[in-house]
Structure 1
Amino acid sequence: MESLGLKSWSDDNHGFHYTIIYSIIFMMFGWFGAIKFLSDTHPKIVKRIPILLVALLFFAPGIINMGVSISLANSDGINAIDYYYDESSCNYESDEEIAEITHYNYHISLMNHGKEKVDFYLKVELPKHETMINVTEENNKESGLRKFTLRPGEKKKFNFTISLKNDKYMSLEGSMRSPKAVIFNGQGEKIFSRN
């Protein structure tokens, strides 16, 4: 939709989904066109168009979701992994004893729709910093990257904490829904972002 200059969502990539309105408008044009051009030659089809339109309104979302699931199930490696935005978040607050340290508690929900186990690494967005950071072992930037694994068909919420010295903000507290995340391995990377 963006390539046509039309917005898909009312608020970046969430909120009200404008494509519903676009679909209804296109369906109305199709309906009126069918009535105008088919009423003389195929009157039975014209009478059944309202039933077809109602059926499309009810079944289209399920058919689209099924198509996305089939596409993911037939993908390999990290391309078969899906990110659940509504189930993912980051809560952060400054340390009670050392104000310069901020603890970022992440909850990232992912599912492997593929037929093989997938090992990957993860980068997440730091709230208020607009930067990405690798998730490491023992929450230490100098240590190695933390490896994550999803078995075939497994949906899992990964919970981890990153503690960092925060020079910019002395006291920081808040939460962030659907943080940007990047998964990567030897195959490449896949970016999950609502923006």
Structure 2
Amino acid sequence: MIFGAAFASQDKNGFSFGDQILRGIGFKAWSDPESNMGFYYTALYSLVFVIVGWWRAVCLLKEFQPKIARQMIVLFFITIFFLAPAINSVMKQVYYSWQSGIAAVEYYPEESRCSISRESENVPAKLNCQFTFENHQSYEG
């Protein structure tokens, strides 16, 4: 259940370790992978993982801890709101630590901006851009 919730969890920059796992084994995370649009297959797989995890957790807890089994909905929301984002954050660091070169660089579109200014019609426009990147590659030497 925890894995299923974390599988489709995304950070503020759109990183999802579920997407990375699917791409790594040759599956598409989106029906239109070029633009990351369309049907989100990662959510479907995540839902399957959550349902199977829920079912197994309830079965095991009914046998060993019936009081906890009745509190499954609370545990589920704790998982969704607290554990899944934390797991995704850790998996993001692990993912980027395995990358090298340009694959280890993360682009932050929300923190990047461009502005265009033009003094007059006869003068070319000026484009002023600021892009934010983070290099996750560690250099040891």
TM-score by length of 1: 0.40
8 Å CA contact 2:58–2:69 kept in 1: the answer is: no
CA RMSD in angstroms comes to 3.8
Q: Which has the larger radius of gyration?
A: 1
Output the amino acid matched with 2:108.
Y
Structure having the higher strand fraction is 1
Please report how far the alpha carbon of residue 66 of structure 1 lies from its aligned counterpart in structure 2 after TM superposition: 1.6
Residue aligned with 1:6, SS: strand
Separation of aligned partners in 2, 1:113 and 1:51: 35
Instruction: Map residues 1-195 of structure 1 onto 2, 5 A cutoff.
Output: 1-3=29-31, 6-7=39-40, 19=43, 27=50, 31=54, 33-34=55-56, 41-42=63-64, 44=66, 46-57=69-80, 58-96=82-120, 98-99=122-123, 101-116=124-139
CA distance 1:70–1:26, shift in 2 (3 Å): closer
AA partner of residue 67 (structure 1): M
Change (3 A) 1:106 1:48: same
Q: Unmatched 5+ residue regions in structure 2?
A: 1-28, 33-37
Secondary structure class of the residue paired with 2:114:
strand
Is the CA contact (8 Å cut-off) linking 2:62 and 2:69 kept in structure 1?
A: no
Cα separation, 1, equivalents of 2:93 and 2:61: 39
Q: Please report the TM-score for the alignment, with normalisation by the length of structure 2.
A: 0.53
CA distances 1:120-141 after superposition (whole Å, capped 9, x unpaired) = xxxxxxxxxxxxxxxxxxxxxx
4+ aligned runs moved over 6 Å, structure 1: none
- Per-residue CA distance 1:19-70 (angstroms, 9 max, x = gap): 5xx9679746754x45875576455362353343133111111210221122
Greater fraction helix? 2
Supply the distance in 2 between the matched residues of 1:40 and 1:62 (Cα, whole angstroms): 28
Question: What is the aligned residue count?
Answer: 104
